[in-house]
Amino acid sequence: MKDESNNPEKITRQVGQRLRNIRRERGFSLKQLEEVTTVSRLTLGNIERGEANPSLTVIWKIANGLQIPISSLLNEDEGVTVSRKNEGNKVVSANEACTLEPMFDAANFGSLEIHRAFLKPYSEYSPGAHQAGVKEYVTVMKGKAVIRIEEEEYRLEEYDSLKFNGDRPHTYVNETEDEAVLHFVMTYTKR
């Protein structure tokens, strides 16, 4: 049986179907969704129809606007899930510096999500500020990383961790020639 877990077309269809379901559950039109996410109606419609593969930046805008974890858009619902490196859904930042692998679904838009992230050598990724109430916990699993939170810089070595309010602008930087592997846990305040 062919493994479809990292098939871009499958992921595109899945994100589109989940977005359409969430929008309809909330009774939003595409215009209302555009207003809360700052993503154009054309792009949102293309995503819902599975005709556009959204970048990580666009997925963050949608998740922040809807005040849901991004894993709510990316992961499939299953009873038991094994998360293996390079086998799950992936989404890439617009500048291709960061690849994010949501590890487990936040069931029913729960308050926790877990990701693996792979930050390319000599690169940086700026997701911007997340929705209010997000707490982010980051551990460097391989390599080194600099995390900038507004004007402050935090240099982390392998297995160092940092906790901060994710609703502040922040950037992940890899200043080395080796890929950095990060582990994220994000908690969301229920609304």
Instruction: List the chain pLDDT tens, one digit each, 191 residues.
Output: 444 455 677 778 888 888 998 888 888 999 999 999 999 999 999 999 988 888 888 888 898 888 887 777 876 555 555 666 776 677 788 888 888 877 765 544 457 788 899 999 999 999 888 888 889 999 999 999 999 999 999 999 999 999 999 999 999 999 999 999 999 988 877 54
Residue at 3 is within a domain: no
Co-location of 69 and 26 in the same domain: yes
Give the closest residue to 75 by CA, choosing from 48, 106, 54. Answer: 106
* Under 8 Å between Cβ of 145 and 117: no
Print the domain residue range for 47: 8-74
The pLDDT of residue 109: 45
Residue at 45 is within a domain: yes
* Tokens coding 142: 């391989």
Checking DSSP bridges between strand 135-142 and strand 161-165, what pairing results, if any?
antiparallel
* Under 8 Å between Cβ of 182 and 138: yes
d(CA 95, CA 190): 31
Domain count, the chain: 2
Co-location of 182 and 97 in the same domain: yes
* Tokens coding 71: 């894993």
Co-location of 116 and 177 in the same domain: yes
* Under 8 Å between Cβ of 31 and 81: no
The beta strand positions in the chain, using DSSP E, are 91-92, 98-104, 112-119, 123-125, 135-142, 145-149, 152-156, 161-165, 170-174, 180-187
Residue at 56 is within a domain: yes
* Tokens coding 40: 């154009």
* Tokens coding 135: 């707490």
Task: Collapse the DSSP code of 166 into the 3-class scheme (helix H, G, I; strand E, B; otherwise coil) and give the result.
Answer: coil
Q: Which amino acid is at 38?
A: T
Co-location of 29 and 108 in the same domain: no
